[in-house]
């Protein structure tokens, strides 16, 4: 397995955890679940509570990252750019946690 994929796998897993923590901190600090931009995450938090909702979503995210990582072992070289593109999508989505940093530090609503 390519070292780059291993590094990316670890990095994306860490981003999932950090995003979950920042989302939790943002919702607890601002006391407003409606600030969550993802309707699936918001619905899970409203139905199951903030902590359990985030654990469910971030666990699913980590499982998806792991499945894509394992697919890299079983596909040919032609498909690897497609998998790299999927990782890029995960990466871009994970950086949405920067919004929570802005909301927490500046108290913007």
- Tokens matching residue 41: 């995450």
Task: Specify the pLDDT at position 83.
Answer: 67
Using one digit for the tens of pLDDT, what is the confidence trace for 39-88?
888 999 999 999 999 999 989 988 887 887 777 666 655 566 766 777 77
Q: How far is CA 87 from the centre of its chain?
A: 11
- Tokens matching residue 73: 């072992």
Residue with token string 């995003």: 19
Q: Percentage of the chain with pLDDT > 90? A: 16
Pick the more confident residue, 45 or 108: 45
- The helix/strand count (H/E) of the chain reads as 5, 0
- The average confidence (pLDDT) of the chain is 79
The pLDDT of 2-25, averaged and rounded, is 81
103 touches 23 (CB < 8 A): no
Query: How many whole angstroms separate alpha carbon 108 and alpha carbon 31?
Result: 13
Task: Specify the pLDDT at position 66.
Answer: 81
Task: Specify the pLDDT at position 108.
Answer: 55
Backbone phi and psi for residue 108, each to the nearest 5 degrees, phi listed first = -80, 140
Task: Specify the pLDDT at position 52.
Answer: 95
- Tokens matching residue 19: 């995003």
Beta-carbon contacts of 55 under 8 Å, excluding residues fewer than 6 positions away, are 20
Task: Specify the pLDDT at position 79.
Answer: 64
Query: How many whole angstroms separate alpha carbon 27 and alpha carbon 8?
Result: 28
């Amino acid at each position: 397995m390519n070292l780059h994929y291993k590094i990316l796998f670890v990095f994306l897993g860490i981003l999932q955890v950090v995003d979950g923590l920042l989302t939790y901190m943002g919702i607890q600090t601002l006391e407003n679940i409606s600030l969550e931009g993802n309707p699936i995450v918001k619905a899970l938090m409203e139905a199951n509570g903030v902590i359990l909702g985030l654990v469910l979503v971030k666990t699913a995210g980590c499982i998806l990252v792991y499945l894509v990582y394992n697919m890299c072992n079983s596909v040919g070289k032609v498909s690897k750019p497609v998998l790299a593109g999927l990782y890029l999508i995960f990466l871009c989505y994970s950086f949405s946690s920067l919004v929570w940093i802005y909301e927490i530090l500046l108290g913007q609503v």
